[in-house]
Structure 1
Amino acid sequence: MHERPSAPASWRVALPHSAAAVPVARALVRTALAELEHGADSDTAELLTAELVANAVEHTAGDAPIELVVKLLPTGCTVEVHDPDPAPPGNLTRPAQRRPDPWQEHGRGLLLIRALSASCGHRPTASGKAVWFRLPVVPRQRQRQPRWRPRPAS
C-alpha cells in the first residue's frame, strides 16, 4: 500500500567521486521511498538517480564528493545531485541536435531523464551545480469491479 507521507522528508548524503557512488545512490533512493511507503515510482527514481550520479562522476574532474539530495513530498519526490563543476549539463532541458547512436554505450542518460521525469533542470550552487528531476506520486490502482454480473443458475 502506498500512502503519501504526511510531512515532507529529506536526506542529504555525500557520495564518493567514483563509480561506486552509483549503486549506493540507487539503494538510498530505493530505501527512502520504501521506508516511507512513498507513492513515487521507485524503479524510475532509481534509474534516473543512477544516470545523474554517473554523469556527475564521469563529467566532473577531481575527487570532491558528490552530494545526493532526496526530497519526499506528498505530491512526489525530487532528487538532486550536486557536483563541483559549474558548467550546465549538455542537453538536459532542450532536445539534442541529433539522436543518440544506437550502437554507442553512452548518450542516452539525459534523454531518459527528460523523457521519464515530470520535470528536470539544473541550477548553480555555491560550490558548482545541482542537477535535479521530479517524479509525481503514482495513484494507487483502484480495484476494478466487473461491469456485468453473472446470472444465478436456474
Structure 2
Amino acid sequence: MNGPALYERPSASASWRIALPHSAAAVPVARALVRTALAELEHGADSDTAELLTAELVANAVEHTAGDAPIELVVELLPTGCQVEVHDPDPAPPGHLTRPDCEDPDPWQEHGRGLLLIRALSQSCGHRPTEGGKAVWFRLPTVPHQRRPA
C-alpha cells in the first residue's frame, strides 16, 4: 500500500478525559474506558489490574464525596506505562493511600481494602489538590508482550 497509514498506534503519549456521573453507574463506564484506552497500546499496562484499580478509585470517589458533582476520569498512556487519575470535588486527601495503615483491614468487612490494593498493585500512587477538589492517581508500568509457545 502506498501513501500514509490510516491508523498508527500512539508512539509518545495519548490521553482520555471523561466526566462520570456521581453514582455507582460510573464504575463500569470507567472500567470500559480504561480497557479501551489500554487496547490502543501495542505493549500496554496490565488491563485487568488497571481496571480493578480504576474501579476502586471511582467507587471511593462516589462513596466518600458528598453532592452530585461529576467525577472526572483521566487516563494517560505513556511509553513507559499508564497513569489513571480520578478527580472529585472533595479536597480531603484519601486516608492511608501513600502510607500504610497501622492495622490490617478486617477480612470479614466488605470495605477497607481498596487503598491497600492500589498501594500493593500499582507502580506508584498518590493524590494532589486540584482547583475543584483533588485528584487521586496510580501508575502502572508497561508489560512486555508475552510470547506464546509454538
1:47 maps to 52
Rg larger in 1 or in 2?
A: 1
| Residue number among 132, 141, 146 corresponding to 2:146 in the alignment | 141
Aligned-partner SS, 2:57: helix
Inter-partner Cα distance in structure 2 for 1:23 and 1:71:
19
Q: 1:38 to 1:15 in 2, by over 3 A?
A: farther
Give the AA of the match of 1:17.
H
TM-score normalized with structure 2 length: 0.90
Matches within 5 A, 1:1-154: 5-142=10-147
**Alpha-carbon deviations, 1:35-85, whole Å to 9, x = none?**
333420000000000000000000000000000000000100000000000
- Residue identity over aligned pairs, in percent, reads 88
1:152 maps to none
Inter-partner Cα distance in structure 2 for 1:143 and 1:25:
30
2:3 maps to none
In structure 2, list runs of 5 or more residues that go unmatched.
Answer: 1-8
Inter-partner Cα distance in structure 2 for 1:98 and 1:109:
14
